[in-house]
Every structure is written in structure tokens, then in C-alpha cells.
Amino acid sequence: MNAQRLAAVRAGAGFVLRRLAAALPNLLGVVVVTFLLTRALPGDPAAYFAGPAASREAIEEVRRALGLDQGIATQFGFYLRDLVQGDLGNSISTGRPVATELIERLPASLELTLIALLLATLIAVPLGVLAATRPGSVVDHLCRVIATVGVSLPTFFTGLLLAYVFYFLLGWAPPPTGRLDPAFSPPQTVTGFYLIDALFALDGELLAAVAGQIALPAITLALFVIAPISRMTRASMLGVLSSDFVRTARAVGLSRTRVLYVYALRNALLPVVTTLGMVFSFLLGSSILVEKVFAWPGVGSYALEALVASDYAPVQGFVLVLAALYVLLNLVIDLAYGVVDPRARFEG
Amino acid sequence: MRRENLLTVVAASLFVFFVLLALFGPWLVPYDPLSTSAGAALSPPDAAHWFGTDALGRDILSRVIVATRLDFGIAVAAVAVSFLIGATLGCLAGFHGGWHDRIISRLADTIMAFPLFVLAMGVVAAMGNTVANIVIATALINLPFYIRVARAEVNVRREAGYVEAARLSGASDTRILVMHLFPNILPPMMVQISLNMGWAILNAAGLSFIGLGVRPPAAEWGIMVADGAQLIVSGEWWVAFFPGLVLMLAVFSFNLLGDGLRDLIDPRRRT
């Protein structure tokens, strides 16, 4: 390995470490805020856990057992200790550990979110490129209108409309209830993602049923995030197209397609990758609403069911898990950015 | 007139229309938005009930109109709170730098480390299910945007000529911030406000849709869509459709207006 390569590898490792270190305060902030939310709960948790018929002594007993008689710093210590052990408390309505239930339901939510992201990217990036190559044209205005309408859509409302049109009126989609028609049994769990598991099971009928079920919720979510992705692609593409290296590429007579896709698009996609963080924030938030509309058995509807039953441990676990997931996603995006664009590794 | 300007005018008219509805709605409605009538339950839109009636026989048009005030009220209050707090914190961070800046920026980063709607949901769930808490939660998740804009805008003006002149003539830091810097960062802050308003309404309606905040029988767009959610798959589309449509129009007019305002004030940021 020559010296130059070694320096590059070192810079790469330094970059990864720096980004990891930058994610830590965010993760700590998330834990502190969730802990404070736990403390802000309405009512007395000790009385709540002891049950309605408990005597004063029993409540005090529970208070001691839960560590609620200690100072706030000690309680935070307990909270951290439980977190490290993966203990998010128990759900009152089901009596099972929250962590277990969240892990069971996470694949459903992730599958929905990722499919929606894929769908949105496949539509938004070409749309943004088209708009940027023909500024002021019909496509450009269309892109602008779609972007503005897209961010104005209440996801819970578009979901309902799609269900009405494609299930009730046209009958193209299955009823908006869950991940799979009860007539089918779910594929054997390999990844937890039904689409992939059905592929592994080589069951075409099952795959079609799964795909039909996920189509409407995924489209609903995708519609919402097409706007930010296409806008960013357009803006960034406009910037790149007016840059010197594109002018040079055109001047030396490279074909239009080659200039557009090999040189311009690759560079224009970098800022788009960084906006994916914001897009994920939107996606994770609206997935709660979409899960409710389509009775999707993910973590969002789990938290909502708990909320209705005044069962707070699952809600807190949900907020913590989603926030941690979001911090990690941003970390992955940062790292991916470093891989795609070597310049980022050497900068601040 | 250019097409963009025309769009902005349309958005502004829609906005004025909604403000009028919010102000005078309760006197304009054809029916009492809360009075139920078992006989007229779930009737589709007709001449008597333009938007139809819901499962309890309440007139949906009246409820949609009356809801404007509550939805706008929540959004305006939330945006006002986060504007005031965010501008103050952002100004302090941008003007003083140092540990002020570190603490305040860390606060903004911590809020942004959450998926924002999820944080809002957690806050309302923890603090209790009231309209005031919806306002607080919505204000909280809007806060980082105002902090960042104010901080950046104050930071670039900190050494400006007029600030130096004010300092030389003996003005205190507070006076410089309030009398000289704050008025100058208002235009970009206004753009941020109009871009945030639509989002604030969406958030508040989303929280009500999942059963947080506003409680039935109060008329609110999110709750009304939730009421119609079960009915839409059996064909009674109007119960959820009209409140959802009006909600969408309101958010749309805010976003168009925000875009138009931004193009006016800062054409370079147009995307």
C-alpha cells in the first residue's frame, strides 16, 4: 500500500469516527428528552402500576420498587441501566415487555417506509431532472405544482381517498386492513419483510397478495415525500448544469445523455442524499397516520392502541425507538455521503 | 402579470377567505354545528346540507366552517410561541456566540434529532390531552427552524456598519439587538412563518386525527376526517372528504403564499 492510499484510508477512518462521535450527543439528547417525557406523565405512576384497588402502603411499596422515591439523578441512572439492558418496561394492556413487542412489529413499519421511499425516489428524481433540464417549461411548472400540492396533503386524508377510490369504487385494491389478507398465512420469517420473505418462499400468489396490500399505504406515504426530493433534485441539478465541468463536457462534444446522466446527475444527487434525513423525519412521522388509516400492524399503530388505553410505557418506548432509529439513519446517510463523495471525508 | 404573481394572488385570496371564515364563521353557518338529528344521519350532500351530514346527523358544512377558527387558532398560537422563543434564542446565539451559541444550538439539534411528528405525539401523550398541549408540542417542533434562521441572520449582520455605528453612539447590546438587528431579520423570519403555518396546521390536525388534543364533539378538521375514516370504505365518502379537502386547501394556500413571499423577499432561494 503506498503512502497516498494509506493517507486516504486514514482520512476515511477518521471520518467514520468523527461522524460516530457527532451522533453520540444526539443520542444522549434523545434519551434525556424521553426520560423527561416519562417524568411528565399525567398522574402518579406508582398509583397507576399498583392498580385502582391498591392501599396506600401498597402504592408506597410500588414506589420504592420502581425507584420513584429516589432523586431525579438516581432515577435517570435507573432509566439508563434499564435501557442498556434493553428493558423498556412492560405494556399494561398485554402484560408483555415493550421491547419485544416493538421488535415484532418493527419490520412491518420499516418495510412500508422503505418501499415508500424507494417509490418516491423513483418518481421524484426523474421529475426533478426533467424540470431542471427544461426550466420554465410545462414539466417545470408541473413539478412545482406537484411539489406544493404534495407537501399540502394530509397523509391521513390521501390514504382514505385512495382507499375509497381503489377499494370501494374500483375494487382494484384489497380492503385496507393490515399486511395480508386473512385467507393467506404469512410467509416463513427470514427478514420479517413480507415482500422479501414471499420471494424467498417462491410463492407468486402470496407475493401478489402482499404487494397488493402494501401498495396503497406505500403510495400514500410516497406522495408526501415526492415533493421535497423532486424540489431538491431540481435545485441541485440546475446548479450543476450551469457549472464549468458540464460546460466543458458539452464543449468537448459528449452526448447529451452522457453529460446529463454520467456527469451532471451523479454530482447533483449528493445534496439530495443529505436531504434524505429530513425526508425520513417526514416518513416516520406520517407512517403513524398511514398505519392507522390502513390498520397496518406496525409500531405506529401499536403506540396508538396503547395511547388509547392510557398505557404509556409502549408510547415512550415507541418514541425512543423511532428517535434512535432516526439518529442511526442519519448516521448511515452521513457515512454513505462520505463513500459517494470522497471530498466530504476530508472536510470538517 | 406573471404567472407566479397570479398564483400568489390566488393564494392570498384563499388565505383572506379562510381568515374571514375563522373570524365570522360561527355567524355564517346554516345549522348549529353541534346539534344532532337521528333522522337526518348520514345523508349525502343535497340542497339542504351541501356537504351532507355525519353519523349523528350534524351538518358537515357548518362543522367545517366552525372548525376553521380552532384549527387556525392552534396554528397561529403555536407559530407565534415558537417565533417569539425561537427568535429570542436565535438572536442571543447569533449575537453573543460562545457558550450561548453552543447551548442553544445543542437544544435545536436535540429537537431535530427526533422525527418531529413523533416528538409532538410523545409530548402531548406525556403532558396530557389538551388543546394547550397541542399548541406547546407544535411550537416545540417548530422551534429549531426559527432558532436557525434567526441565528444565521443575526450572525451575518453582527459586524454590519449600522451595528458598529449604533455601538459607537453608545447603544447597549440589548438595544442593538432589539432596535437594530431584530427589525432587519424580520423579512426572512416572516417567510419562515408563512412556510411553517401550513405545516403547523397539518401537525395539529394529524394529532387530532390519532385522538390527541381536541376532543369530540368539538368541530376540528382532523377529528372530522377521523370520524369519517370508518365510513369511507362503506361508501359514505362525504363525512371525511369535505373536512379533508378544506384542510388541504388551507395548507395549500399557506404554502403557496409562503413560496410567493420568499420569491419576493429573497429570489435567490427559489427552488
The DSSP code for B46 is -
Residues 137-166 of A with CB under 8 A from B: 141, 148-149, 151-157, 160-161, 163-164
CA distance B45 to chain A (A): 17
Is the minimum CB–CB distance between B267 and chain A shorter than 8 Å?
A: no
| CA atoms of B104 and B81, how far apart (whole Å) | 17
Question: What string of DSSP letters covers A18-39?
Answer: HHHHHHHHHHHHHHHHHHHHHH
**Tens digits of per-residue pLDDT, B180-212?**
888 888 888 887 887 788 888 888 889 988 888
The CATH H-level superfamily of A104-344 is MetI-like (1.10.3720.10)
- Tens of pLDDT, residues B8-61: 788 888 888 888 888 887 777 777 777 776 667 767 777 677 777 777 778 778
**Which of A156, A231, A292 should be substituted to probe chain B, the one whose Cβ sees the most B Cβ atoms within 10 Å?**
A156
Mark which residues 314-343 of A lie under 8 Å from B by CB.
315-316, 318-319, 322-323, 326-327
Quick: pLDDT tens for B115-166.
888 889 888 888 878 889 899 999 999 999 899 888 888 888 888 888 888 8
**pLDDT-based confidence at residue A185 (cuts at 50, 70, 90):** confident
pLDDT score, position B192: 82
- Superfamily grouping for domain B2-31+49-269: MetI-like (1.10.3720.10)
| Contact status, residue A120 vs residue A229, Cβ threshold 8 Å | yes
B2 reaches A (C-beta below 8 A): no
pLDDT score of A348:
43
Nearest residue of chain A to residue B254 (CA atoms): A152
The Cα A81–Cα B66 span in angstroms is: 50
Among candidates A176, A232, A326 on the partner chain, residue whose Cβ is nearest the Cβ of B114: A326
**The pLDDT of residue A111 is above 50:** yes
Integer Cα distance of B122 and A306 in angstroms: 12
pLDDT tens-digit series, residues B165-182: 888 888 888 888 888 888
**Residue A50 touches partner B, C-beta closer than 8 Å:** no
Q: What is the pLDDT of residue B81?
A: 94
Nearest to A214 by CA among A252, A240, A253, A186: A186
**Closest chain B residue to A230 measured between Cα atoms?**
B271
Query: Which residues on chain B are in Cβ contact (under 8 Å) with A322?
Result: 114-115, 118
Taking one residue from A and the other from B, the number of pairs with CB-CB distance under 8 angstroms is: 155
Listed by start position, the domains of chain B span 2-31+49-269
DSSP label of A188: P
Q: What ranges in chain A are assigned the alpha helix state H?
A: 3-39, 45-50, 56-66, 72-84, 98-133, 138-152, 155-163, 194-200, 204-241, 244-251, 256-257, 266-293, 299-308, 312-340, 342-346
- Is any Cβ of chain A less than 8 angstroms from the Cβ of B230? no
Using the Cβ of A114 and the Cβ atoms of chain B, whether some distance falls under 8 Å is answered with no
To 5 degrees, how large is the angle CA B192–CA B195–CA B201? 125
Helices (H) and strands (E) in chain A, counts: 15, 0
- Taking an 8 Å cut-off on Cβ atoms, the answer to whether A154 and B121 are in contact is no
Residue A347 above 60 pLDDT? no
pLDDT band at B86 (very low <50, low <70, confident <90, very high): very high
**Closest Cβ opposite residue A148 in set B110, B235, B259:** B259
Domain ranges for chain A, please list them. 2-84, 104-344
pTM of the model: 0.84
Sequence-distant (6+) residues with CB within 8 A of B230 are none
- Whole-number Å distance between alpha carbons of A280 and A301: 18
* Structure confidence at residue B2 as a pLDDT band (50, 70, 90): low
How far is residue A65's CA from residue A167's CA, in Å, rounded to a whole number? 51
Taking CA atoms, A231 is separated from A150, A272, B201, in Å, by 11, 9, 22
Model pLDDT for residues A249-298, shown as the tens digit of each residue: 888 888 888 888 778 888 888 788 878 878 888 888 888 899 988 888 88
Provide DSSP, B65-88.
HHHHHHHHHHHHHHHHHHHHHHHH
Phi, psi values for residue A90, rounded to 5°: -110, 150
Residue A167: list chain B partners with CB under 8 A. 233
Q: Does B14 touch chain A (CB under 8 A)?
A: no
Average pLDDT over residues A306-326: 83
Tell me whether residues A26 and B113 touch, CB distance under 8 A: yes
**Cell numbers 397478495 correspond to what residue?**
A209
